[in-house]
Amino acid sequence: MYTPLHLEQMRLARMALHGGWPGRNIRQSALALVRQAASGDLSAALALAHHHLSLVRAERAQAESAADFLQRWGQSRSERASPGTTTIGKTAALLDLTIDTLRSWERNGLVKPARDLHNGYRRYGAAEVGRLRVIRLLYRSGYSTMAILRTLLTLDQDQGTNADLRAALDTPRPDEDILTAADHWLTTLTEQEQRALQLVRQIERMIALPADPYVTKPSISPPGL
């Protein structure tokens, strides 16, 4: 016996689960609220939906903050090269990163440390360390390598003063064949916030449904969800 509540539960599941999720925490949160609604405890499901909305908003706030910091840094950074005085090991320790991470970022074109003329070792100056701090912040805020590289290339080409780094961070180029949510992270999180609001409203509609006189306590838990 299918009731209007079953139909609304299916709508909720489709709304929450179609497409991809921007990160494991948001994915698990969406699954949890759908399962809670399927169990019949809509009040608890509504609480989880509000928590889900807060989770998405917190993720977006972090991403927005990082983008704003990037824009300010790009406009205020010094164009004068600084002498490389720090080794890769000391730089990694200073930034709480691994040496392999710094080498990976170099291979991906995010940073180009100077080389010691005598032994060829990498040397990092204040400018490189500042750039690495920004890269680390963007990574930890959810942005992809492609988004960061695209933005830094825009910064270097424009010399930083007039570049719209926020737009570059969120706007994939036509030649970027493979596109992920983290390549346009701000847009993704804005869309996720709208979806989270829809989930709250959907559960509120389910709570407002009149009781079905023919079904005492409908079981709406689909097998294997």
pLDDT tens digits along 165-201: 999 999 998 888 777 888 999 999 999 999 999 999 9
Tell me the sheet residues that pair with 114. 123
* Whole-number Cα distances in Å, 147 to 166, 199, 212: 10, 29, 51
- Model confidence at 85, pLDDT cuts 50, 70, 90, reads confident
Tell me how far apart the alpha carbons of residues 65 and 23 are, in angstroms, rounded to a whole number.
18
Binned at pLDDT 50, 70 and 90, residue 218 comes out as very low
Predicted confidence at residue 217, as pLDDT, reads: 47
Q: Model pTM?
A: 0.82
pLDDT in the model for residue 16: 92
What region does 142 belong to: left with phi over 0, alpha with psi -120 to 50, or beta? left
| Res 22: pLDDT | 78
pLDDT tens column, 23-55 = 889 999 999 999 999 999 999 999 999 999 999
In this predicted model, what pLDDT tens digit does every residue of 119-136 receive, in sequence order?
A: 888 889 888 999 999 999
Mean pLDDT of 94-106: 95
So where are the chain's domains?
Answer: 1-76+126-225, 83-124
Q: What is the mean pLDDT of residues 152-176?
A: 83
Q: So what's the pLDDT on residue 46?
A: 97
Asked if the model's pLDDT at residue 212 lies above 70, the reply is: no
Check if the beta carbon of residue 114 is closer than 8 Å to that of residue 151: no
Question: When comparing pLDDT for 12 and 120, which is higher?
Answer: 12
If 0-12 CB within 10 Å is exposed, 13-18 middle and 19+ buried, where does residue 173 land? exposed
